[in-house]
Amino acid sequence: MVPWWAKGSHKGTSVVVKMENPNCSMVELEAPSEEDFLIGSTPTGSREKLRGKNAKQLTWVLLLKAHRAAGCLTSITSTFLSFGSTVRRRVASGRTDDNDIETDENKAVKTGFYNCIKVFLWLSLLLFCFEVAAYFKGWHFGAPNLQLQYILSVPLGFNDLFDWLYTHWVLIRVGYLAPPLQFLANVCIVLFLIQSMDRLILCLGCFWIRLKKIKPIPKHEAVADLESGEDSFFPMVLIQIPMCNEKEVYQQSIAAVCSLDWPKSRILIQVLDDSDDPMTQLLIKEEVHKWQQEGAHIVYRHRVLRDGYKAGNLKSAMSCSYVKDYEFVAIFDADFQPSPDFLKRTVPHFKDTEDLGLVQTRWSFVNKDENLLTRLQNINLSFHFEVEQQVNGVFINFFGFNGTAGVWRIKALEESGGWLERTTVEDMDIAVRAHLRGWKFIFLNDVECRCELPESYEAYRKQQHRWHSGPMQLFRLCLPDIIRAKISVWKKFSMIFLFFLLRKLILPFYSFTLFCIILPMTMFVPEAELPAWVVCYIPAIMSFLNILPAPKSFPFIVPYLLFENTMSVTKFNAMVSGLFQLGSSYEWVVTKKFGRSSENDLVSLVEKGPKHQRVGSEPNLDKIQADLKQEQKARKTKHNRIYTKELALAFLLLTASARSLLSVQGIHFYFLLFQGVSFLLVGLDLIGEQVI
């Protein structure tokens, strides 16, 4: 008897599976039919027929999976071959980061740091060979505690001399090397825990802000005045766009600023061009002239002598006689594109708040998904803005000015001494001096300004060097002023310990020392130990906290952890250079940009009217030819490099990971292995933009 749920003439649904290999034909697989559910009631012959049919289908499915596995294997093999070919070409080209060293002083500083790393590398290789020989001669090590189990395998000859040498080496380790190494490790662990606690408190503060929905809100009267269009609350605003040889992005920034929704009679745009390339100067000047013809209140300024870099450029612009007619100044770097309502969302916060000196907005990135490097930068900067800047702005009304996408009260700038060229972080300098004079800051996390991230490791490395050497220069210069300032003891402690020492000095110090020097050394001096929670668990938790503001980046949490440790060598070098005023601390290199636009930009171009549809100047033959020539010239001079310090540290960490296998230290082995591979990829410039 056939059950009610099996009634009917069900013949099965055909499923067609197409093989990717053109030599294979298509096969039709049938879904379960009515007979498949009635095997128990079918004759023996039909049952065998069904089994043969199912076996044939299963064979084709297995063949299909094998075909896919073979394709995957082929793809992996092709990737490795391409990787090997890229590495071979890069090594054969012989271009290293030493080619960027311009002065003898910088060369001496960078070469000295590199030589120190090479000494550790050669010493580790020598000790590794010594330890391997000892292991095969019977000296075995247990983990986690060191247990020497001497097994005499060769009773005479060289074995006795080797045993004597190795025994004395162990005694030297135990008596002279392990104690200072363990002490230094404990100091770094304490610093690591303090910095981790600071990061945890910042995250709790951010959680509290979200829970209570705390955010700066302008006075209702200011918003009402803007909506009603009353001229009484459209203060005079000066817009400054400092730039230098940035022909890829000048059109976008000028167009975005000229499209700001603000009365034309109450705004003035200064294009501050420090370019030393005549063609770039002409292109920018032409762009400004065309916007002037469209009615924009915009002027072009060019300095013959580029003294003081960006700070000198801004200082020169503020010395113009007409600046006294303006109350506020908004600053945008050449790659920043503010939205039309930027001023309407920032300037109202100043009304009836006379002690407010700065309104800083958040950055958003049009190329954050361009490559792995930009994704990792997005994680870092998302945490910086949403957690660090927002928490400091809400609870202590102070944070470092980001140099762009912010609005200053001109009175605050003047009372704080104006722009100074004494460091490479003029933005942080003016923020510290303004805070010491009682000015308050607010951060708007919900107001974003689009910009670009550096896509090549070379550009990112130079940017990070400037960002980490400048604060140490500033700390040496501002420390006496902070101590003498008439502010509360808590604010002095917060500025000296939290703002400068903990986040600008201690963080790069322990990151490099603990994970790139001490950890590999403990593999060769196993009497000094680093607990597993220091190597793995706490860093993993901190990486998890860092990635919370960018939840879509969770798949990159492991590369992020490894890359941050990899960047510690650049940040440590920059910190030391700035702290001791070495030559490389005064390097200023404009971060290379590509002039990319987001999808929203393209949509807005379609929606805008004819007047604002153009985001740049009309194309002409001369301009196109000039752009093509410059592009060809850039391609010839553009190339990937080999970074010697990162490569040396890669081999040091990989050697230490191999040594950890002799002591059966599992988690240390995996950390050192992956960290060494990370240094290797960065050292070969395989992260970020690829040219050759």
The per-residue pLDDT for range 484-521, each reduced to its tens digit, is 998 899 999 999 999 999 999 999 999 999 999 999 99
Beta bridge partners of 328: 237, 409
Are the beta carbons of 595 and 252 closer than 8 angstroms? yes
Tokens representing 132 are 């391997």
Residues composing the chain? 692
Cα 629 from Cα 642, distance rounded (Å): 28
Number of domains composing the chain = 1
Q: Which residue, chain included where needed, has tokens 């001494």?
A: 417
- Distance separating alpha carbons of residues 150 and 371, to the nearest angstrom: 52
Q: Nearest Cα to 419, choosing from 334, 316, 499, 304?
A: 316
Q: Report yes or no on 385 lying in a domain.
A: yes
Q: Exposure pattern of 327-339 as b/e (b: 16+ CB <10 Å)? A: ebbbbbbbbbbbb
pLDDT of 272 higher than 60: yes
Lowest average pLDDT, out of 43-52, 201-210, 272-281, 544-553, goes to: 43-52
Give the number of C-alpha atoms closer than 13 A to the C-alpha of residue 673, restricted to the C-beta side: 10
Q: Which of 97, 273, 335, 427 is labelled catalytic? A: 427
| Antiparallel, parallel or unpaired: β 298-302 and 237-243 | unpaired
Number of C-beta neighbours around residue 644 at 10 A: 17
**pLDDT at 609 > cutoff 90:** no
Helix (H) or strand (E) holding 443: strand 440-451
Both tokens of 137, joined, read 């001669």
* CATH code, domain with 447: 3.90.550.10
Q: Tell me if 529 is assigned to some domain.
A: no
Higher pLDDT, 228 or 206: 206
Range of the domain at 294: 237-453
How many whole angstroms separate alpha carbon 546 and alpha carbon 387? 9
**427 counts as catalytic:** yes
Q: Is residue 152 part of a domain?
A: no
| Rg of the chain on CA atoms, in Å | 32
DSSP 12-23: --EEEE--SSTT
Would the pLDDT of 347 be above 50? yes
Residue with tokens 């060809």: 632
Mean pLDDT of the chain: 82
Compute how many other C-beta atoms are within 10 angstroms of the C-beta atom of residue 431: 27
- Residue 274 known to be catalytic: yes
Taken in order 272, 277, 278, 283, is the CA torsion positive or negative? negative
pLDDT of residue 231 exceeding 90: no
Q: Which of 274, 333, 335, 429 is an active site residue?
A: 274
Is there a domain that residue 444 lies in?
yes
Q: Is residue 45 part of a domain?
A: no
CB 536 within 8 A of CB 519: no
Residue 190: pLDDT over 60 = yes
- Domain membership of residue 288 (yes or no) is yes
* Structural domain contains residue 391: yes
Within 10 angstroms of residue 669's Cβ, the number of other Cβ atoms is 18
**pLDDT higher than 50, residue 12:** no
3-class SS at 510?
Answer: helix
The phi, psi pair for 450, rounded to 5°, reads: -75, 145
Coil, helix or strand for 268?
strand
What is the rounded distance in angstroms from the CA atom of residue 692 to the CA atom of residue 639?
6
Q: Rounded distance, CA 36 to CA 17, Å?
A: 21
Q: What predicted TM-score, i.e. pTM, was given to this entire model? A: 0.82
pLDDT band with cut points at 50, 70 and 90 for residue 74: confident
d(CA 129, CA 120): 14
Residue 157's pLDDT band (cuts 50, 70, 90): very low
In a domain, 260, yes or no: yes
Nearest alpha carbon to residue 110 among 124, 97, 94, 92: 97
